[in-house]
Structure 1
Amino acid sequence: MTTVDERTVAALPLRRNRDFLLLWTGNWLQFFGSRMGGVCYPLLALQISGGSARAVGLASAAAVLPYAVVQLPAGVLVDRWDRRTVMRVCAAGRTLVLGTVAAAVFLGGLGMGSLLALIAADVSLTIVAGLAERAAVRTVVPAAHLTAALSQNEARGRIAGLLGGPAGTVLFTWARWSPYLAAAVGAVIAAVNLRFIRADCKPAAAAGHRRIREDLADGLRWLRGQHGLRAMLPVLTLAAALLQVVSLGLVVILVKEQGHAESTVGLVLGISGCGGVLGALTARWWMARFSLPVLLIGGLALWSALMAAMAWATGPIALGALFGAMNTIGAIFGVATAVYQMTATPEALQGRVAALAGLVTAAGTTAGAFGAGGLLGEWGGSRALQAAAAGMALLALVAGLVPAVRRARIAGPEPAAPRPEDTPTSPASPASPAPASPAPKS
């Protein structure tokens, strides 16, 4: 495999980094396909089961369960194997899974049990590929371009989420097998793109034969010794839990309390999705002007104010604008915390640290969803949002009082962004290790 000279790559604008473009475009198609499939799986379960709500719940559970089961062993394997090979195998596996779904739906031979197994396989492969890509970004992108690369990755995910859902439902309405075939084609293109990446994506050689739990213990031991990461992780996890009150409360406020049509929920989500894209695209600007503690603590405080305003807002436009502002902040968090974790984590621990952090925040999101349901049922949308806003304000205060959070700084040359006028004589930036960090996404 060819090793790309970092000095040469660092001198070029990110848009001319061949390996990054191949990685970015291929995985954008996979994200887009995942979004289409994720939206259509419950619809397909409903159709197969003859309208059973229980079947929809089972399909949702099959899509969530791998996050609890697969993430930790996947993090270990990503730190052992060539990440490019892992992504290619996952892309090939998703092609097979999605192609099977499309063919079975077309032929009318897909049963509920088979659908649940295929959903779990699709999500599991997506998780492994995602961890491998997060670890590989630092290999194909020099340190000076890391913020720009992660901003584009965040925007990619936000755009895929914004467009993938509507596209998937339109295709599903036309032909139930078509969104899965389209997603399979995207996975094929991703696998082809990965074939032409020249950067060496192999992790450091593992020390002898070790059990998975021993490698996981190493990652946990290292994470416990990092005061900044250790302090920020519970803050972000609690924030992710509180955000579930907003996501679920929108439906209650719009449809039940204000009497709007159910279609207005889609309008609000569309407006808010645009806010997320804006935040991802402007994250470098914010990071160049404010320190990580200011972004984190100030963002939590702004979230609290926006949530309180949503409790009193009326109409989908006002709610969408406020939720969009929250998504803008969430996207900036996504980039800033990812850069912080990447520049703090040793290269050999990238997959494990990302998996551990992802598992904790996913647990917070799941617990928040259950808690939000009970809170909304007891108090209604407006009062529940007020309570969540108070909780977010308290969280911002606590974060501001924790010394490890106030002292957190991004290591290395970040967050300086590359300039178009950089010439081939520009010095290369030193490489800095790491995977991404868990930021709550509204």
Structure 2
Amino acid sequence: MKIHLGGLWRKPDFMKLWTGQMISEFGSRITREGLPYAAVLVLAASPAELGFLTALAALPVLLVGLIAGVLVDRVKRRPVMIWCDIGRFLLVGSIPVAALFGLLTMWQLYVVALLVGVFTIFFEVASQSYLPSLVERENIVEGNSKLGASSSLAEIGGPPLAGVLVQTLTAPLAIAFDAISYLFSALGVGLIRKPETKSISAHHEFNFWREVREGLAIVLSNPYLRPLAINSAISNFFGSFIGTFYVYYAVNDLKLEPGILGFIIGLGGIGALLGTLLATPMLKRLGLGNSLLVALFLGKLVPFLIPLAGGSPWLVIVCMALPQLLGDATLMVFLIHSTSLCQSVVPDRLLGRANASMQFLIGAISPIGPLVAGFLGSWLGVRLTLLIALVGMLLGSLAVIFSPLRTLREFPALQQETSDDSHASYADN
């Protein structure tokens, strides 16, 4: 019996990209778990040092997010991805090398966390901007679904794999697997044979601030992208409340054992993987607007079970497990469709800046969230703070409800630019 694979399964260039990124995603999960292990087990880091390490890893989106968008729109995207992978290979690979010679310090971890974050921002902006030129328009949702599946599988298998490697090899040596994974990603992207056609404005002299404003404007003025950015920014802000107190609340208030809590959190990866499988069927059956709304509301209503959890131990487990499973599934559907929408409506020459502007607008106020959460948690208690966070996230949905998004049946046609925006093209042979 022959198995017939359709869609992007039969596109060798996309499969090279997908395979490399899947390996890289697993490696990144090892480093995400391994860096704190290295800091604590090898360098005896204090809580303050761990907090600083985490903050540095999150800082690049604010420092270079908009810069990445401008530069990615001025150069070929595939080489950017390759060089970012090589840069991350060298940075992450320096950790096991330093550890072998007894030279590892917290300062090195700080530098690696910050610079890897910078390279990751550039890679993600370039990757999201490159996908539409690699696959046909009708395959964008499938492409984003498959790339999302890579992340979901890594979320399921990465942390356990990291734990085993750290326990058997020590944290610094386990991180070596992540360094090698970036080489596989670079190899996958480098083997792509489809020429990359890139358009640059023929009369557009470089002006950094003008191009930053142009990228922000394409998001803030677009009737489809603006509500998505507003909703996601509000959701990220209030969602950081949940991230701040989730483990504390589960262990101290609900008395969940770490092993059970780890299993519950792992269901989030399974849910996200389920979401990658549901994205295309929901789009075909419900249409784009209804699919976005269903995913949005389910993803924000189910988590209300978290602050309402109580009663028997089994009921508590169910109340904490369903938001991980169903919430992450619907969130993945929403992310796939919203990312595909951005890639569909933004002209190629602006796509890097549009993706970077979305990341910047969504992440700009997120660092304030944990500070507000800490204040409210001390004043009102953790359970009530979680409830406030979920109400805030739900209110963010109003931006989508009262927007043209709800009426969309399919992805809008790409808006053609005027003759003033004539472009010169070149191909990456």
TM-score when normalising by structure 1: 0.85
1:172 and 2:166 matched: yes
1:197 and 2:198 matched: no
Q: For residue 48 of structure 1, report the CA deviation from its aligned partner.
A: 4.6
1:411 and 2:411 matched: yes
Q: For residue 326 of structure 1, report the CA deviation from its aligned partner.
A: 0.8
1:316 counterpart SS class:
helix
Change (3 A) 1:17 1:316: same
Q: In the alignment, is the contact (CA less than 8 A) between 1:105 and 1:176 conserved in 2?
A: no
Q: In the alignment, is the contact (CA less than 8 A) between 2:237 and 2:368 conserved in 1?
A: yes
- 1:283 corresponds to: 279
Q: Quote the RMSD (CA, aligned, Å).
A: 2.3
Change (3 A) 1:100 1:398: closer
1:37 and 2:38 matched: no
Q: 2:187 and 2:404 mapped to 1: Cα distance? A: 44
Q: In the alignment, is the contact (CA less than 8 A) between 1:303 and 1:389 conserved in 2?
A: no
TM-score when normalising by structure 2: 0.87
Letter in 2 for 1:337: S
Deviations 1:128-162 (A, max 9, x none): 11111111111111112111111111111122222
Q: Given the alignment, which residue of 73, 95, 102 partners 1:79? A: 73
Q: For residue 408 of structure 1, report the CA deviation from its aligned partner.
A: 4.8
Range with greater deviation from structure 2 (216-225 or 403-412) = 403-412
- 1:227 corresponds to: 223
Q: For residue 66 of structure 1, report the CA deviation from its aligned partner.
A: 1.2
- 1:185 corresponds to: 180
Give the 5 Å matches for 1:147-166: 147-166=141-160
Give the 5 Å matches for 1:4-403: 13-174=7-168, 175-207=170-202, 209-314=205-310, 315-397=316-398, 399-400=400-401, 402-403=402-403
Change (3 A) 1:396 1:189: closer
Q: 2:324 and 2:106 mapped to 1: Cα distance? A: 36
Letter in 1 for 2:78: R
Q: For residue 244 of structure 1, report the CA deviation from its aligned partner.
A: 2.7
Q: In the alignment, is the contact (CA less than 8 A) between 2:228 and 2:338 conserved in 1?
A: no
Deviations 1:82-126 (A, max 9, x none): 111111111111121122111111221012212211221212112
Range with greater deviation from structure 2 (292-301 or 237-246) = 292-301
Q: In the alignment, is the contact (CA less than 8 A) between 1:311 and 1:386 conserved in 2?
A: yes
Letter in 2 for 1:372: A
Q: For residue 54 of structure 1, report the CA deviation from its aligned partner.
A: 1.6
Q: 1:159 and 1:297 mapped to 2: Cα distance? A: 25
Q: 2:284 and 2:38 mapped to 1: Cα distance? A: 45
1:198 counterpart SS class:
coil
Letter in 1 for 2:322: A
Q: For residue 352 of structure 1, report the CA deviation from its aligned partner.
A: 0.5
Q: For residue 412 of structure 1, report the CA deviation from its aligned partner.
A: 5.3
1:109 counterpart SS class:
coil
Letter in 2 for 1:240: N
Q: In the alignment, is the contact (CA less than 8 A) between 1:102 and 1:181 conserved in 2?
A: yes
- What is the percent sequence identity of the aligned residues? 25
Change (3 A) 1:12 1:312: closer
Change (3 A) 1:43 1:139: same
Q: 2:180 and 2:300 mapped to 1: Cα distance? A: 42
Q: 2:291 and 2:245 mapped to 1: Cα distance? A: 26
Q: Which runs of 5+ in 1 are unaligned?
A: 1-10, 415-442
